[in-house]
Structure 1
Amino acid sequence: MARVTLLYAGPLGLAFFWLSWRVIRARARAQVSLGTGDDAALQRAMRVHGNFAEYVPLVLVLMLANELAGAPAPLLHGAGTALLLGRLCHALSIGGRIHRMRLRVAGMALTFLALAVLAIAGIIAAVS
């Protein structure tokens, strides 16, 4: 069983639910069913949600593949923690009224770190 991956997939799934709910609320407030209607809050909510949807599934697939291939737990926990913190930082950085660029950069750096580490570990596992 892939317990480490599940440990991170669970909270990330709840985060995706929360981000989805934020988009729905922003759409209702702006009375926009498609697109953003030039509503800044809706646009921010959609980009946080979209960015999450663009990165998290691939990183979780890489984490699962590495776990099933026997990757060490510290590597998986490190990547999972980086991904979770990275996505939190990113959501907080552009999801509110104030854009916090340093927090956004930190969030993307942590996400990229998790992605790169798991991708490289997966390649190493596949060829060894």
Structure 2
Amino acid sequence: MKPIWTLLSSHVRKDFHAGYYLTVALFLAVALYINYTLDLENSIIDIYAGQPRRVPMYFALYGVTYFIACLITFFFNGFPVGRDRKRFILYALFGVGVLSLSSGWPYTLAVLQWIGYKDN
């Protein structure tokens, strides 16, 4: 237990930046407030259940929150440069896109049944 505590305290000493953590906490509070006040998923996105337009709606929902969190991190820790920036952007867009397809694509069950997938 002592080595874990030593590693954790060393990490916090090196990494801790009050402004960064306060900014992330403020962003999380605002994002949660907006999400639960507007009930984004249940009241807005789920109205279009079974329609492909849910994919870009989920992309916007996930993308905005993810990229704002990334911008906060980059502001305090430095932006990636050159090839790293391009790679980050491509990977991030791909990841948010896959998540959006997974959440919003209305034909997932039909495709799974078509390829013969059976849930045990």
TM-score (norm 2): 0.39
